[in-house]
Every structure is written in structure tokens, then in C-alpha cells.
Amino acid sequence: MADYRQMWTDLEMDLEKHDLLCEALPDAFGGIYLSQENRPQGMDFFDFVVAEIHGVRPAELIEHQQKGGKVFGTFCVYVPDEVIFAAGAISTGLCGGSQFWVPGGEKVLPTNTCPLIKASVGARLDKTCPFFRIADMYVGETTCDGKKKAWEILASDVPMHIIDIPQMKRAKDIDGFAEEIKEFIKVVEDFTGNKVTAQVLGESIKLINNKRKALQRLYATRKAALVPISGKDALLVTQIAFYDDPTRNAQMVNKLCDELEERIARKDGVFPENAKRILITGTPMAIPNWKLHHIVETAGAVVVVEELCTGTRYFENLVDESATTLDAQVRALAERYMKTNCACFTPNPGRIDDIIRLVRDYKADGVIDYNLQFCGLYSTESYLIKQALDAQGIPLLHIETDYSEQDFEQLRTRVEAFLEMLGK
Ligand code: SF4
Ligand code: SF4
């Protein structure tokens, strides 16, 4: 990584602690990513983004702030990025995916909080992530209890706006979410000093849709009998989409897809055709959480699709672009976001339908239900998923884990046994 120490100092980061993080990442990334064979050339850009993860993009965000722009940090796929970009601001994902930040979160949160929340709070309070330092305002949501309470702690350290996410999907809930989006527009307008007009919101809806369309195209390539990209690489591309510039991101993903489609045409896969195909469902995998994919793919199977927030939930649904008035655009946004099926909703049959549809579309041989420890929502929903998949005869492995490496070998043994059962 180039030298960004002055920038990190200006951000009042804990440089000593941050050095420890910077030292660990290259080894982890090298071992998990660069060791893969026959990777697409288009991954070079995404490798570069990781190599410069705390440098290049943070520097761009600071440049934007120096020109008077604002940066919003978000934690969940229910936050409408369209509104943020429409006001000339930038949205960046803040979800913590590293064990490195967990002890910092544990200083203020109960130990039995999910690692994603602990890491997100730890990254802010320990001052070891430039993105968490740069964001002028954080945007939280009322999805799960742990997050709701964590926002109150973060709010004492940084300006926060909380979006009230409905818990059900009745017509009145969608109306209520449209009202929340209107309120969010007002908050963003006041904070940035820029008006969100129908014209700029329309452009922003197209911008974010284009990013989603590029990811849809990427995932479509994974349906091929000879998969042209590993699950690990596809996961990395999706993780990076949360904080890269949306225009550049769509361009780079589409460039990668050109190459992947050529690979499919000449039958050049990264795994043999008989490799078992795995769908992973469950809680999000924020960067640099690559543990499960690494275990599955070093055991000889290939992850072909993720029904995760760092997967299909992020991009499957598009916003209707035909609306021309602000009211109609807000309605289109509310409808689109309420199509996403997170376990925070009750009931949530759409998620089970999604899993079964994706198993068929991607010809998955088996499903791994991945739960972060202490996530009551997803681990409880696992019961219903098991019932539904059993009824369809779809093999399922349920795992619960955290960000540490302690259970790595134990997980490997369980995954290998599952793959054997699939007839590897
Ligand atoms: S799992 Fe639910 S709460 Fe968590 S990021 Fe996804 S949508 Fe948001
Ligand atoms: S993984 Fe579960 S507990 Fe953790 S933030 Fe998401 S919904 Fe909440």
C-alpha cells in the first residue's frame, strides 16, 4: 500500500493499532485469494482495491469532502443509496467483517452480540478504520435489536439518522416505509444543503440500478456448467460494490463479465464440471469475511450463489425507472426495498421461496445455511428453512460461526462431510 499515514493522522486514527490490521490483511488475502489458479484477469482491479483498501477510496471520499460534499456511512441493504447520491453526497458501506474490531465492540456491548455489530462498533470506537472516521453521518436502521441499541452508543460519537424499517410487509407497512424515505430525503437535504428533485433522484435511481444490473450479469455467469469465476472472487466483487464509486464499479464489473462470458463460450471453468455446486444463505459476509467460501472451495466444491445481503439480496430487485414525480419515485423506492427478504420480517416466506428458486436456477447440489453467532433472527428462521428444504429434498448444512479462526478446522471437517454426503 502507498503511504497514507498523513491522511490517517489527519483522521485522528490510532496508527499503532491500525498498523497491526494493515500487517495482517496482505497475508490473509494472499493465502485465500492470490493462491487461486486460473483467476480471471478482470479480478486485478478488485485485488488492487483490496491492496489499497484504506488508501485509495478514503482519499477520494476526503477529496469529495474538501469540495464541500458529504459522506454517509450505511450498515444495511435497506438504506436507499439513491437518496444520498441524488443530493450530491456519497454513500459508503460500513459493515465490519473483521475479528480485529470485535474486542473494541465488546468493550461496550454484551459479549452475546453478533460479531457484525461488535466489529462495526469497535471499528468506530477504536479509530482503526478510515471509512468509519470519514463518514459525516451514519445511517442506521431498526432491523434487529442488537443494531437498534448499538446505534444509541454510536450516536454519542457521530451524527446518526435511523430509518424505521417495518417488521411486516402489509400495504400499510409499505406506505409507512415511503414516509420514512420522505423523511430521509429531508434529513439528507438539510445535511448536504442540496435539494433532491425528481430529476436528480431519477438519475440516481438509474445510477444505482446500473450497479445492480452489473452484479446481476456477474451472477448470471455463475449459472454456467463450467463456472468461470470462483465463489470467493464473486463474493469479493459484491463486497467491494458496497463502498466503491457506483459508476466505476459498474464499469469494472461489466468488464469482468465480458471476460467471464468469453470463458463460458470457450468452456474455460475455474472448477471441474463435476465439482459440487453450493448455495450459501444466511447472515451477511462483510469484507474481509471470506472464511466459509475458502473452506468450501479448498474442499473441492464451488459456491455458485449467495442468498445473502452480500449477495442476491443486494441487487436482485431494481427500482422502477419510469416514475417522473418525486412522490412516484419514493413509492417505487419503497416497493423495491420492501421486496428484499431479511429475517427481520415476520412472516418471511419470500426468503424461503428465493432460496428454492436460486437452488434451481444455479443448479446447486446443496445449501449451507450460514449464521453468525448470536443472530437470533437468522438462527430462528433456520428451522423454517430446514423444513422447507427437507420437503423439497434439498440437502442442507446449518453452521453457526463467528469471525475468529478458532473453529476453522471443525468447520472444514463438517463441510467436507457434507460434500461427501452429496456424492463428491
Ligand atoms: S441481514 Fe437484514 S439487517 Fe442485516 S444487513 Fe441484511 S437486511 Fe440489513
Ligand atoms: S447478523 Fe443478525 S444480529 Fe447481526 S446485524 Fe444482522 S440481523 Fe442483526
Q: Point out the ligand 1 atom lying closest to the alpha carbon of residue 147.
A: 3
What average pLDDT score do residues 344-357 get?
A: 98
Please name every residue paired with 73 in a beta bridge, in sequence order, or none if there are none. 92, 138
Residue 224 has pLDDT above 60, yes or no: yes
> Which residue matches cell numbers 450460514?
370
Q: How far is the CA of 284 from the centre of ligand 1 (A)?
A: 7
Confidence at 180, pLDDT banded by 50, 70, 90: very high
pLDDT at 414: 98
Å from CA of 309 to ligand 1 middle: 6
Strand pairing report for 277-282 and 137-141: unpaired
3-state secondary structure of 280: strand
Mean predicted confidence (pLDDT) in 229-240: 98
- Whether this prediction's pTM lies above 0.85 is answered by yes
What ligand is nearest to the CA atom of residue 143?
Answer: 1
Q: How confident is the model at residue 153 (pLDDT cuts 50, 70, 90)?
A: very high
Q: Which residue has the higher pLDDT, 25 or 248?
A: 248
Distance CA 374, CA 388 (A): 23
Count of CB atoms within 10 A of residue 224's CB?
Answer: 20
Q: What is the pLDDT of residue 423?
A: 85
173 or 23: whose pLDDT is higher?
Answer: 173
**Torsion angles phi and psi, residue 399, rounded to 5:** -130, 150
Provide the 3-class DSSP secondary structure of residue 339: coil
Contact 277, 401 (CB under 8 A): no
CB burial of residue 393 (10 Å; 0-12, 13-18, 19+): exposed
Mean pLDDT throughout 358-375?
98
Q: Is the CB of 344 under 6 A from ligand 1?
A: yes
Residues in the chain, how many? 424
Question: pLDDT tier at 1 (50, 70, 90 boundaries)?
Answer: low
Nearest CA to ligand 2 atom 7: 144
Taking CA atoms only, the protein residue closest to ligand 2 atom 3 is 375
**Structural domain span for residue 178:** 5-422
Q: How many percent of the chain have pLDDT more than 70?
A: 100
pLDDT of 424 above 70: no
Q: Which of 369, 305, 382 minimizes the C-alpha distance to 343?
A: 382
The set of residues, in sequence order, having a beta carbon less than 8 Å from that of 229 and lying 6+ positions away, is 40, 43, 218, 221, 222, 256, 260, 270
- The arithmetic mean of pLDDT across residues 6-29, rounded, is 93
> Which ranges of 266-362 would DSSP assign to H, the alpha helix?
291-298, 312-315, 326-337, 349-361
Q: Which pLDDT tens digit goes with each residue over 109-150?
A: 999 999 999 999 999 999 999 999 999 999 999 999 999 999
**Chain-wide mean pLDDT for the chain?**
97
Helix ranges (DSSP H) in 285-341: 291-298, 312-315, 326-337
- Return the pLDDT at 11: 97
Domain count, the chain: 1
**Ligand 2 pocket: which of 145, 377, 379, 399 to mutate (most atoms within 8 A of CB):** 377
Pocket residues: Cβ below 6 A from ligand 2: 114, 116-117, 143-144, 146-147, 283, 372, 375, 377-378
Provide the pLDDT for residue 152. 97
Supply the pLDDT for residue 95: 83
181 lines ligand 1 (CB under 6 A): no
Q: What is the pLDDT of residues 67-125, one digit of tens each?
A: 999 999 999 999 999 999 999 999 999 989 999 999 999 999 999 999 999 999 999 99
Confidence label for 24 from pLDDT (cuts 50, 70 and 90): confident
- Estimate the share of the chain in helix, then strand, then coil, as percent rounded to the nearest 5: 55, 10, 35
What confidence tier does 181 reach under pLDDT thresholds 50, 70, 90? very high
pLDDT greater than 90 at residue 295? yes
